Amino acid sequence: MIQTEFRESSYIYVTSSHSLQREELSSRMNSPDQQPNVPSDHAEDQIDVPPNVTRKSIESTGSERRSIRETWTRAVDFLVACIGFSVGLGNVWRFPYLCYKNGGGAFLIPYIFSVLFGGIPLFYLEVAVGQYMSKGGLQAWNLVPLFQGIGLASAIIVFYLDCYYNVILTWIFYYFFASFTSELPWQNCNNEWNTKNCSVNFTHSLRYNRTEKRHLLDPVTEYWENKVLGLSSGLHEMGKLKWDLALCLAFVWLLVFLCICKGIKSSGKVMYVTATSPYVLLFALLIKNTTLDGAKEGIAYYVTPNFTLIRNTQVWVDAGTQIFFSSSIALGTLTALGSYNKFNHNSYRDSLIFTCVNSGTSILSGFIVFSILGFVAKQQGKDIKEVAESGPGLAFIAYPNAVVQLPYAPFWSACFFLTLILLGLDSQFVGVEGVITTFVDQYPNLVRKGHRKVIFIAASCVTMYLIGLSMVFEGGMYVFQLFDYYSGSRTIVLVGLLELVAISYVYGIRRFYENVMMMVGHSWLRYTLPYMLICWSVISPIFCLVLFILSTREYTDLTYERSNKRIYVYPQWGVMIGWTMAVSTVIWIPIVGIFKFVKNGATWEVFKLLLVPYHLHPHQMRPEDASELNLKKLEEVRKGKFKSLAAAMLHESTKKDESPAPDVWRTSAWTIGYTVNSKREVETALE
């Protein structure tokens, strides 16, 4: 049995009997004729480490094991980071509209179902994998090497997300800065960007007939399309670069860089502000909005159940995809966040708390949004169906339209956009950190030493900024829609499904369940883990498979609705760009698996070895893992391209015609590809 003690975020472990004494190990290390028969490419600097050796578990294998992995300063930092990343703009501008569109209060039935059997299990699975492996991105999937491409696919998805998410923040900052004035610039039609079709409150005017009203625009819409976006006629006409937006985008990326360049300890402190402050502003907006004339009617539209709609499969698709988006599942970032936890941190408890906060924020946002929409509808004499919008339309048209009708309009406008800024910034901090963690863990010697990590972060931010510039041209909105529509959506559902397959049916759900029990310890929550076992093995895979099939069946080509209900249909070459973007994420899952298989010999034994974990530490192993591999398999590993000390340890145990001691057997069997520390590092650990 393995006992684990934590000191200064490093693992100190002591393994039980069937191994050599400390003095015997020291004499063996100093005696040339007693050295194990190490494969040639490891013979100079590596020796076997019997399981009774007390040492620090340091981060990477071989020469990479020089730096101790950074961890959260406080246990609550992880929960705050998860809330900051996942609770974002989608909770404010997507969930309320979906709830209204899909039956009001009745939508909570498929939503809660999706939370229980999709959201919580997948959220905790990703966190647990990261925490168990103490790695993010590709390295976390050393748990199932054949599926290591999942880490790369997730990193590419979140890379695309980071590129266009900061463009949203750019628009929000633009409106926020524009709010510092005595009169909001979208309040009248007396500006250079307004056209002759601009009219204030034309719905109540008797000057225009019904035909003329169809061509009129309010100043809010013209400010958004003409001033902010400078919207062109289509993707084929990119137009000029909007320098004001380009500078604003650079400012946002500078903020992101400054907050993450010092690692999770500095970004964690910032997120205490960015993750908690929005709730103060949300409650202030709730109190203000519910006192407005028409707010009750708006809230009634939001919560009144229409149970007939839940028979529609699209309602269930919307509920399922909303869970993936709002919980940030299949983006790899949750795995990265979990990797900074201590091994015995109770992240299962945090997952349950997060789910409650995430869902509660979505429901709260619905009351805020529909109270203001009810006010707008009453002021303009429209039905709420005509003013209810989702996404950018809500943030940059519906809400600014409502604000201009309030007393102290600039103040309430600044409050609203500041709330969106705080909700969006921490999501971006963690999203970029997830991409950085993937490459830092994959290439620690190249990236982590000295100031290289800061330089790498800066280079990454500059790269994503340059890609984001394509979305701040006059035709940039059409590029933004391509990123938004194709880079995530169905691909993240597919990645989530493959995660479940890899853990439940390849690695082994019972084995993973026991790994989780090792981390959770004796908490009362361990008695609820059978629920997770059932979800991971049966319910959640079916949920993801059905959701992927239904969302694919409901696919329609991308369009963009401009003002006055004008629909722009994307050309076929634009759709092809979108599909290329989508395929460029998931295609790496089979490519990485095939590459690892071919590179290591393309034999049946290699294939079987790619289904068992490597780069594990003794504290991550179970006693019963001793019987996983037999002598023949280990000898074949020793002769093959999986060069490791497993074969050397086997030779050391058998050259005296002895059967391998159970602990040595276990360690050798579960260190396939695990390069043991150098002699100097072992001697240091023994001191």
Q: Which residues are annotated as a binding site?
A: 84, 87, 91, 326, 358, 423, 426-427
Q: How far is CA 306 from the centre of its chain?
A: 33
Residues 571, 194: Cα–Cα separation, whole Å: 29
Q: How far is CA 281 from the centre of its chain?
A: 25
Residues 89, 425: Cα–Cα separation, whole Å: 10
CB within 8 A of 148, min separation 6: which ones? 138, 141, 142, 592, 593, 596
Residues 225, 560: Cα–Cα separation, whole Å: 13
Residue 666 phi/psi, 5-degree rounding, is -65, -45
Contact between 345 and 9 under an 8 Å Cβ cutoff? The reply is no
State the DSSP H helix or E strand holding residue 565, giving kind and residue range, or none if neither: none
Residues 134, 57: Cα–Cα separation, whole Å: 11
* Structure token digits, residue 595: 């590459």
Residues 35, 270: Cα–Cα separation, whole Å: 51
Strands 55-57, 10-15: pairing is: antiparallel
SS3 11: strand
Residue 304's CB: how many other CB atoms inside 10 A?
12
Residues 507, 554: Cα–Cα separation, whole Å: 33
* Structure token digits, residue 215: 């061509």
Output the CA–CA distances (angstroms, integers) from residue 388 to 139, 305, 373, 375, in the order listed. Answer: 44, 17, 7, 11
Closest CA to 65 of 84, 46, 92: 46
Residue with tokens 């999203």: 431
Residues 326, 545: Cα–Cα separation, whole Å: 19
Where would I find the H helices in 328-408?
333-339, 347-380, 384-387, 392-393, 399-403
- DSSP-derived letter for residue 55 is E
SS3 261: coil
Contact between 441 and 211 under an 8 Å Cβ cutoff? The reply is no
Contact between 592 and 152 under an 8 Å Cβ cutoff? The reply is yes
Residues 572, 205: Cα–Cα separation, whole Å: 42
Residue 587's CB: how many other CB atoms inside 10 A?
15
Residue 11 phi/psi, 5-degree rounding, is -90, 125
**Residues forming the annotated binding site for Na(+)?**
84, 87, 91, 326, 358, 423, 426-427
Residue with tokens 């190990």: 25
**What is the chain's length?**
687
Contact between 138 and 441 under an 8 Å Cβ cutoff? The reply is yes
Residues 546, 662: Cα–Cα separation, whole Å: 44
